[in-house]
Structure 1
Amino acid sequence: MAILSVNAGSSSLKFSIHPLRDGEVQASLLTGSIQGLEPGGTPDMGWTLNGRRGRRSLEASATSFAAALAGLRELLDSETGIPAIDAVSHRVVHGGRDFRDSVIVTDDILARLSRLDSLAPLHQPHNVAGIRAFREAFPTLPQIACFDTAFHADLPAVASRFALPRAMHDDGVRRYGFHGLSYQYIMGTLQRHSPRASGRVLMAHLGNGASLCAAVDGRSQATTMGFSALDGLMMGTRSGTLDAGVLLYLMEQGWDHDRLQSLLYRQSGLLGVSGISADMRRLRADAGAAAREAVELFTYRIVREAGAMAACIGGLDLIAFSGGIGEHDATLRADVCAALGWMGVRVDGARNAAATGGAVQRIDSDGSSIEVWVVPTDEGRVAAQAAAALIAAR
C-alpha cells in the first residue's frame, strides 16, 4: 500500500508518496510540486525521487488542475519503483465544528466543507477544488480529507470560547486553531527525541502562515490562531490579531467586505509593513528601515504570544521551531530565544547556526533550563497516516 498526499493551493500543488510497512507510513519516496497553476500561468513540475531530481514544463490548460493532474499521472506511470496508490490524502485547512477527525470524502462532505470557504479564503476553496479534481482524475481511489483544525479539537473550553453571546458560540463561532497536521508531526517527532516532550511544549510553525501552539502531554492547550487562519501572529501577508475597532472604523469610511478581506489576508503582514515583500529572506537582505521594522515586528509578535502561551500552561520545558522561517532563519530563533531568556532559555550559537532545516536538531546550550529544537515538519506524512488508518478500518 502507498498513499499519495497532496496539498492544493491557489497556484500550486504539492505532493508526496508514502509507502506503508507493517501498517506504518514511511518517509516519502517521491516529493514534488507543481507551480504556475494560477490563471494565465505556465505550469511547471519539479520532483525528487530517491534523491534524483527532475523537472518538466506542463501544457497549460483552461482548468489549472487539469494540467497538474495530467502531468502527475504521467510521472507516476513513467517512473519505475513507485508503488501502486491506494488512496489520496488531502490537507484541508478548516474542518469547522463538524469534522474533528479525517474522513473519506463524499459529495455531502464536499458541500459542507465549501461552506467554510469564508473562514479560510486563501486555502479552503483551493483545498476543496483539489479534492474535486482528484476525485475526477482518480475515480477508483478513496479521497481522504485531513484537517488542520483536528489537532486542536479538544482545546479546553476556556481556550476555545470568545467573549461573545453564548448563542454565537453554540452556532460555531469559537476558536478552532490551525497548522494541526504540522503540530501533530512535530509533537510525534519530539516525543521520539526528548522525554521533555511529555511536559510543557511551545511549538512555533513559522512560515508565510504562522502560529504558536502550547501543548501539555502531547495535547493542544492553547494556540494563537482562532476562528479563522487570520488570527494571532503577524504573517507573510496576513495581519494577525487586530483590534476589531479598526475594522469598524474602515467600514465607516466605506470599506466593503471584499476590500477588507483583501487588506487582512493579502496586503498586510510582512508585505504590508515593509512595502517590499512577504519573503523573510528578501527582507533580511534589505538594509532599509522598512524591511528592518517588518522583521522586528514579526519577531516581537512571536515573543509576545510566546509569553502568553507559556502563561497558559504554567511555564515551558521545551520550545520547537518549524515551518519555512522557523527551520531556516537562525537569526530569528536566536532573537526570539534571547527575548525569552528571562525564562531560562539559552541558545548555543554554533548549534543554532548549523541547524538549517535538513534534520531534527537540538540548539539550546548546556546551561539552558528549556530545551530548544528545530524540527522540519512533514504534514504530508501525517495526512498519509490518517488515510492509511481509515482505509485499514474500512
Structure 2
Amino acid sequence: MIDTVLVLNAGSSSLKFQVFRVGDLDVLARGKAVRLGEPEPAMDASLADGTRERIALPPACDHDTALAAVLAFVDRHDDAWRMKAVVHRIVHGGERFVDAVVVTPEVFAALEALSPLAPLHQPHNLAAVTAARRLMGDVPNIACFDTAFHARHDALTHNFALGQDLRDRGIRRYGFHGLSYQWLEMVLAEQHPHLHAGRVVAAHLGNGASLCAIQGGRSIDTTMGMTTLDGLPMGTRCGALDAGAVLYMFQSLGMNAQEVSDALYERSGLLGLSGLSNDVETLLKSDDPRARFALDYFALKVAQFAAFMAAAIGGIDALVFTGGIGEHAAPVRDAIVERLRFLGAFEVIVIKANEERVMALQARACLAGEG
C-alpha cells in the first residue's frame, strides 16, 4: 500500500486537488473543478503518467458533488493508495491556529466563528471540510492556514492604533497568502540562498493580492490586515481605504452592512476602477482607457506598498513575483519594477506558486506528530 494525502483548495466556485505520496511527496494525481454553482461546471484531472480526463459535472454542482467526482476519479485510478488524510487550505486561523491541525468538531466551530473576517473564503474552505467528513468517514481532516506564516509578527507590526479594549477583542493585523509565501521562502532557501538570507519583498498578485516583507526566511510585515480586504487593490476588492469612507457610506449614503460589504468585496478593485473586468488579461487586451487606468493604478499601488515593505526590512535585495498576475502578466510586472528603480539595484524573480506542496509538507509533519 502507498500512503497518500489528498490536498484540497476550495474557492467560491472552484475546487483544486492534488494527491501526494506521503514519503517523498511525489504528485500522483491532480485536477481542478471549475464553475461550481454555475450552469456548466466541469473538472479536468490528470495522473502522473500523463493520463488526462475531462469530467462533466451536473448543473449547479456544489462542493459536495465536486469532491465526490474527485474521489470517483481517484477510485478509478487507485494504485494501492491508502488515504491518510484530507488536507484543506483554510484562509483565516485567527490568533489561535498558527500550525497545521487536525479538524475536530471544536476546531471546526472555532474556524466557523472566523468566517466574518474572510467572507469570500472561509465558508467555502469549511464547506470542503464538511463534504470530506461526509464522503470519507474516519479519514482525518487537516487544516493548513494562510495566516500562520505571519503569526509571529512583533507587536509594532500586528497592532492597529486603536484603544486596548478593541485590541483585546481581536482587532489586529493577521496577514494572508502565507502558504504561498512559505513556498517562496523554501524555493529561495534552496535555489537562491544569498537572497534567502537577505531582504525580500514577495508579491502574490492574483485576484487576491498582497505583499510580504521577508528577511532571513521570516515574515516581517505584510500588506493585508485583519481581513483579506486590506492593502493592495485586487480583482474585485478595494484594498486600503480610509475608514471614514466606510462611515460615510453608512451615515450619509444610507447603505446597510450587506451593501457596504458587497461594494468593497465584490465591486471594487480592478473591476470597479475599469468598469469592465477584474481579469488582467482582459484589461491588457482592451483599448478602453479605463482598462489602462485600472492597470496603472494597480502598478502604482503595488510599487508604493513594495516601498513600504522595503522600509520594514531596511531595503530590498530581491522582488519576487508569484500568483496568476505575478507569474503571467509581464507588462504589469515591468510597470511595477520601473516605479521601484529609485530603490537601487535589486534582483527580480518569478516563482510559480505551489501552496499545495506546502500543505502536503505540513500535513506530513502533523501526521508524524499524531503518530
For Structure 1 versus Structure 2, the TM-score category normalised by the shorter chain is over 0.9
**Structure 2 partner of 1:210:** 209
State the Cα distance separating 1:74 from its structure 2 match.
Answer: 1.2
State the Cα distance separating 1:142 from its structure 2 match.
Answer: 0.8
State the Cα distance separating 1:217 from its structure 2 match.
Answer: 0.6
Counterpart of 1:29 in 2: which secondary structure?
Answer: strand
**Structure 2 partner of 1:88:** 86
Runs of 4+ in 1 over 6 A off after TM superposition: none
Counterpart of 2:106 in 1: which secondary structure?
Answer: helix
* CA distance in 2 between partners of 1:58 and 1:335 (Å): 40
* CA distance in 1 between partners of 2:198 and 2:64 (Å): 47
Question: Contact 1:43 / 1:68 at 8 angstroms: preserved in 2?
Answer: no
**Structure 2 partner of 1:229:** 228
State the Cα distance separating 1:43 from its structure 2 match.
Answer: 3.0
**Structure 2 partner of 1:375:** 351
State the Cα distance separating 1:58 from its structure 2 match.
Answer: 2.0
TM-score normalised per structure 1: 0.90
State the Cα distance separating 1:312 from its structure 2 match.
Answer: 1.1
State the Cα distance separating 1:383 from its structure 2 match.
Answer: 0.8
State the Cα distance separating 1:82 from its structure 2 match.
Answer: 7.1
* CA distance in 2 between partners of 1:58 and 1:248 (Å): 44
* CA distance in 1 between partners of 2:12 and 2:80 (Å): 27
* CA distance in 2 between partners of 1:227 and 1:43 (Å): 33
Correspondent of 1:188 among 181, 186, 189:
186
State the Cα distance separating 1:393 from its structure 2 match.
Answer: 1.2
State the Cα distance separating 1:107 from its structure 2 match.
Answer: 0.7
Question: Contact 2:8 / 2:86 at 8 angstroms: preserved in 1?
Answer: yes
State the Cα distance separating 1:60 from its structure 2 match.
Answer: 4.2
> Which residue identity lines up with residue 9 of structure 2 in the other structure?
N
* CA distance in 2 between partners of 1:292 and 1:84 (Å): 51
* CA distance in 1 between partners of 2:132 and 2:57 (Å): 17
* CA distance in 1 between partners of 2:276 and 2:256 (Å): 26
* CA distance in 1 between partners of 2:335 and 2:295 (Å): 11
* CA distance in 2 between partners of 1:249 and 1:123 (Å): 27
**Structure 1 partner of 2:159:** 161
Identity of aligned residues (%): 45
**Structure 1 partner of 2:17:** 15
State the Cα distance separating 1:197 from its structure 2 match.
Answer: 1.2
State the Cα distance separating 1:36 from its structure 2 match.
Answer: 2.5
**Structure 2 partner of 1:317:** 317
State the Cα distance separating 1:48 from its structure 2 match.
Answer: 2.4
* CA distance in 2 between partners of 1:56 and 1:64 (Å): 15
> Which residue identity lines up with residue 342 of structure 1 in the other structure?
F
State the Cα distance separating 1:29 from its structure 2 match.
Answer: 2.5
* CA distance in 1 between partners of 2:64 and 2:320 (Å): 38
Question: Contact 2:205 / 2:321 at 8 angstroms: preserved in 1?
Answer: yes
State the Cα distance separating 1:84 from its structure 2 match.
Answer: 2.6
**Structure 1 partner of 2:332:** 332
* CA distance in 1 between partners of 2:220 and 2:190 (Å): 21
Correspondent of 1:391 among 356, 367, 371:
367
Correspondent of 2:98 among 97, 100, 111:
100
* CA distance in 1 between partners of 2:287 and 2:81 (Å): 49
**Structure 2 partner of 1:201:** 200
Q: CA RMSD in A?
A: 1.4
* CA distance in 1 between partners of 2:180 and 2:282 (Å): 25
Which deviates the most, 68-77 or 284-293? 68-77
State the Cα distance separating 1:25 from its structure 2 match.
Answer: 2.6
Indicate whether 1:48 and 2:46 are aligned: yes
> Which residue identity lines up with residue 274 of structure 2 in the other structure?
S
Question: Contact 2:172 / 2:225 at 8 angstroms: preserved in 1?
Answer: yes
Q: How do 1:40-79 and structure 2 match up within 5 A?
A: 41-50=39-48, 51-60=50-59, 64-79=62-77
Shift in CA distance, 82/201, structure 1 to aligned 2, threshold 3 Å:
farther
Question: Contact 2:18 / 2:28 at 8 angstroms: preserved in 1?
Answer: yes
* CA distance in 1 between partners of 2:351 and 2:177 (Å): 14
State the Cα distance separating 1:65 from its structure 2 match.
Answer: 2.2
Unmatched segments (≥5 aa) in structure 2: none
> Which residue identity lines up with residue 353 of structure 2 in the other structure?
T
State the Cα distance separating 1:319 from its structure 2 match.
Answer: 1.3
State the Cα distance separating 1:172 from its structure 2 match.
Answer: 1.1
Counterpart of 2:111 in 1: which secondary structure?
Answer: helix
Which deviates the most, 2-11 or 278-287? 2-11
Unmatched segments (≥5 aa) in structure 1: 345-368
**CA deviation digits over 1:166-220, x for unaligned, max 9?**
1211221100000000000011011111122111111000000000000111000
Question: Contact 1:197 / 1:318 at 8 angstroms: preserved in 2?
Answer: no
**CA deviation digits over 1:13-65, x for unaligned, max 9?**
111111133xx533x33221112321x5333111122233321102347x712
TM-score normalised per structure 2: 0.95
State the Cα distance separating 1:81 from its structure 2 match.
Answer: 4.1
Counterpart of 2:46 in 1: which secondary structure?
Answer: strand
